[in-house]
Structure 1
Amino acid sequence: MSNPTYDTSAPVLVTGATGYVAGWLVKRLLEEGFTVHAAVRDPSNTEKLKYLNALAENTSGQLQYFQSDLLALGSYAEAMEGCTVVFHTASPFTIAVDDPQKDLIEPAQLGTRNVLEQANQTNSVQRVVVTSSCAAIYGDSADLEQVEGDLFTEADWNTTSSLTHQPYSYSKTLAEKEAWDIAQAQNRWDLVIINPSLVLGPGINPFATSESFALIKQLGDGTMKMGVPDYQIGVVDVRDVAEAHMAAGFTPSAQGRHITSGYNTNFPKLADILRAHFGDTYPFPNSILPKALVWLVGPLLDSSMTRKIIARNVGVPFGVDNSKSIRELGLTYRSLATSLSDMFQQLIDYGVVTS
C-alpha cells in the first residue's frame, strides 16, 4: 500500500455535503488544507450549513457551496469545475418509504449517473470515489449460503434484493453497477468504491436524521426495552468511513471496491455495550426476542420488517471480510465501544435521549 498524497492545489467536490458520512469527510479535507466544493440542495439554508461552517472556521481549508440536485442534469457542472477528485456521497438512507422507485431507486441510480456523466465532461477530474454500501454486496444474511467461504468479500454482489424485498439494498446495488458501467466506458478518470456496513458514531450535525441514529436512539429510549432480535450486522465508525474515503481519493494504488466495516456484531451485543458504558440509567434491552415472536409481531410494529426479512436475517449467521480495507487503504478501526458510547453520549448531550 502506498500512502495518501494530498495535493491541495486543486479543489475537490463532495456531493451531499450535509450528510452523515460527508460531514466527517469535509472535516478531514479541510484539516488537510483542501478547498472543498460542497454540493448541497440549498446554499442559502444557513441553519443546515452551520455545522459545516463551524468546521471551516477552525481549519486551514476553504469551503465553497454550490447548489445542486441529484436528479437535475448538469447541476454539478459548476461545482465540479477544476476538481481533480470527486466524492459522491449523496444518496438517501431510509428504509420505510411509500414509493421505493421514486424515493430510493431514482435518487440513487440517476444521481450516480448524473454525477459520473458530469465527470466525463469535466477534464480536470482524475478520480471519482463513490460511497456505495455493503448492501450492494449482500441483501440478507442468508445470502452467505451462496458464497464461497464464511464471509462476504468484494467479489460478491447482492442478487436477492428487489423493489419489493430490501428496496434500499436494491437501490445501492443498482447505483454501484451504474457507476461501474460509466467508469468502464471511459479511461480518463478511475473509480474507487467504498462499501460501508451500518455506520455509527457521532454526527457533525448532532440532530442528523438517518437510520443509524434512529436505531441507537431506540436502543436507549425504551422503544426496545422488551428485547431485541438476534439480527446480525456489520458496524463501522463514521470517522473511519471518512478516513477510508480520504485513502480512496488520494492513494494512487487504490482501486476497486472496499468493504469498510469494523465489526461483525448483532443488536443484543450493541445493547450490552451501551449498558456496560451507561449503566441502568437508560432502559437498554437485556433480552433476545425469540425468532418466532419477531416473525409474528415484527411486521405489525414495523411495516418495513417483513416476514421474509425476518426469516432470512434474524438468527442467521453473517459476516463480512474487511481485510482489503486494512491492507490497501491502511485503515485501523475504532473499537465498537468507542463508536457506540460517543454516539449515545451525543444523543444525551443534545437532549435527543433523556433518562
Structure 2
Amino acid sequence: MQIATDKPVLVTGATGYVAGWLVKRLLEAGLTVHAAVRDPDRAGAVVALGEGTPGTVRLFKADLLDEGSYDAAMAGCGVVFHTASPFVTVIRDAQRDLVDPALKGTRNVLGSANRTASVERVVLTSSIAAVFGDQADLQDIPGGVLSEIYWNTTSNLTHQPYSYSKTLAEGAAWEMANAQDRWRLVVINPGLVVGPGVSGVGRSESFGMIRQLGNGKMKSGVPAYEIGMVDVRDVAEAHLRAGFLPDAEGRHMVFEAPYSFLDLAKVLKPAFPGYPIPERELPKALLWLVGPLLSRQITRKLVSRAFGYPWRGDNGKSRRELGLTYRPVGAATVEMFAQLVEAGLVGRRP
C-alpha cells in the first residue's frame, strides 16, 4: 500500500482510544498529522506519539458542536479521519449526551470537508451499532448473519440510544457524501473494541467494561451478551487502509470473531489469579428482574432483546478489500487488563 505523505491528514478526536493508535500509525508512516482536540493544553500524550517517528504532530483546537471549528485544522489536508464521537454508558440526556455530538459533529466535520478543496477522502468511524440494534434483530435476517448491507432500524432515544446516535450520524454522513462528487466517504464499523491504550489506560468506556470483570462488581456472574469484538490496533489499521487504498469504498464491518463477556473472563481468569473474575453467566430471568434496579440503562426491553442470543457477522469485506488480518481478542483483553492492574484500577482479592 502506497501512503502519500505530500499532504497532511486530519484526525478528529485525536486524544481518543482508537484515534491514539491511528495517530501513532500515521506518524510511523511519515505523515504530518493535524490532531484536532478540544483542549490542546491537555494533549501532550498526542504530541509524544511523534517522538522517534518520521512524522509530525500539529495540534488544533476544535469542538464537535462548534460549526466551522475544524476549518483551520483541515486546511491543506488530503484525508480526514473523523473518529470523534461520544461513547458513554451513563446517560442522563440521550439527545444532549449522544445524539447531538454524534450527528451535529459529523455534519460539522463534513461541512468543513465540503469547504476544503484539498480533501479527497473522509474516513468515518461508525460502529457495528449502525448495522444492527439488538441481538434479537439477527433472528429476522436470512441466515442470521450480519453484513454491511444492513442498517439498524430498531434503536431510538429511549432504547439503545448509543446505537441510535451512531446510526443517525452515519446516515447523515452518507447523505452529505452522496450530495457531492469531490471527496469519497469510506466507513469503518467496528465491533466492541478492546486492547491496550497507546499511552496507558484511557477514558474509553471499553476500559470500564473490562475493569468490571476484575474489580468484583461482576463476581457473581456476567450478562449472557455476545457480539463481534476487535483489537483496537486492528481498528486503527482499518482506518489507515481505508484512507489510502485506492479502491477502498463503502462500509466495513471490522471484528475478529464473536465473543461473550464470559469468554473474556475465561481468558483473564488464569492470566490473573487472585482477582474476582466471574466464572458464570447470570440467568436472563434474573437480569430481567433486577437489571432495572441496578442501572436505568439496563431496561427489561434491553435484557429481552439483547441478552441470551448468539451473534453472527461476516467480516469478509474487511479481509478482502482492506487486507486485514486480525489479532486474537483474548490476547488483547489480557494486555488491556494488565494496564488496568499497573494503573492500580483493579485490586487483588483480600
Same fold (TM over 0.5): yes
C-alpha distance in 2, partners of 1:219/1:345? 12
Aligned-partner Cα distance in 1 for 2:300–2:287: 9
Which of these residues, 38, 57, 61, is aligned with residue 67 of structure 1?
Answer: 61
Q: Per-residue deviation at 1:55?
A: 1.2
Q: Where do 1:1-355 residues align within 5 Å?
A: 4-45=1-42, 49-278=43-272, 280-355=273-348
Q: What TM-score results when the alignment is normalised by the length of structure 1?
A: 0.96
The CA distance in 2 between the partners of 1:134 and 1:91, in whole Å, is: 14
In the TM superposition, residue 313 of structure 1 has moved relative to its aligned partner by 1.3
Measured in 1, the distance between the counterparts of 2:6 and 2:251 equals: 27
The percentage of counterpart residues that share the same residue type is 59
1:329 is matched by which residue type in structure 2? L
Q: Secondary structure at the match of 1:53?
A: helix
| Letter of the structure 1 residue corresponding to residue 227 of structure 2 | I
Matches of 2:203 and 2:295 in 1, distance apart?
18
Contact kept, 8 Å, 1:199 with 1:238, in 2: the verdict is yes
Look up the equivalent residue of 2:338 and give its one-letter code.
Q
Q: CA deviation at 1:51?
A: 1.9
Question: CA–CA distance in 1 between the matches of 2:92 and 2:108?
Answer: 24
Contact 2:248 2:321 in 1 (8 A): yes
In structure 2, list runs of 5 or more residues that go unmatched.
none
Q: Quick check: 2:34–2:73 contact (8 Å CA) kept in 1?
A: yes
Give distance in 2, aligned partners of 1:333 and 1:187.
Answer: 33
d(CA) in 1 for partners of 2:199, 2:213: 20
Counterpart secondary structure, 1:139: coil
Query: How far apart, CA to CA, are the structure 2 residues paired with 1:112 and 1:66?
Result: 17
Which amino acid is 2:223 matched to?
A: P
Counterpart-to-counterpart distance in 1, 2:219 and 2:326 = 29
Separation in structure 2 between the aligned mates of residue 268 and residue 298 of structure 1, nearest angstrom = 18
Distance 1:300 1:5 in 2: 54
Alpha-carbon displacement from aligned partner over 1:10-45 (angstroms, at most 9, x marks no partner): 100000000000000000000000000000001122
Deviation of 1:299 (Å):
1.3
User: Which stretch shows the higher mean deviation, 173-182 or 260-269?
Assistant: 260-269
Deviates more, 1:207-216 or 1:134-143: 207-216
Partners in 2 of 1:23 and 1:210 — Cα distance?
Answer: 11
User: Relative to structure 2, which stretch is displaced further, 251-260 or 334-343?
Assistant: 334-343
**Any conservation in 2 of the 1:147–1:156 contact (CA below 8 Å)?**
no
Structure 1: 4+ residue segments shifted above 3 A? none
Q: For residues 56 and 183 of structure 2, what CA distance do their matches in structure 1 show?
A: 24
Shift of 1:204: 1.9
SS of the aligned residue for 1:208 comes to coil
Quote the Cα distance in structure 1 between the aligned partners of 2:253 and 2:225.
19
SS of match in other structure, 2:258: strand
Q: Deviations over 1:77-111 (max 9, x none)?
A: 10000000000000000122111011110100010
Q: Deviation of residue 350 (structure 1)?
A: 1.6
Compute the TM-score of the two structures, normalised by the length of structure 2: 0.98
Greater mean alpha carbon deviation, residues 91-100 or residues 187-196? 91-100
How far apart are the structure 2 equivalents of 1:329 and 1:247?
Answer: 6
Offset, 1:205? 3.6
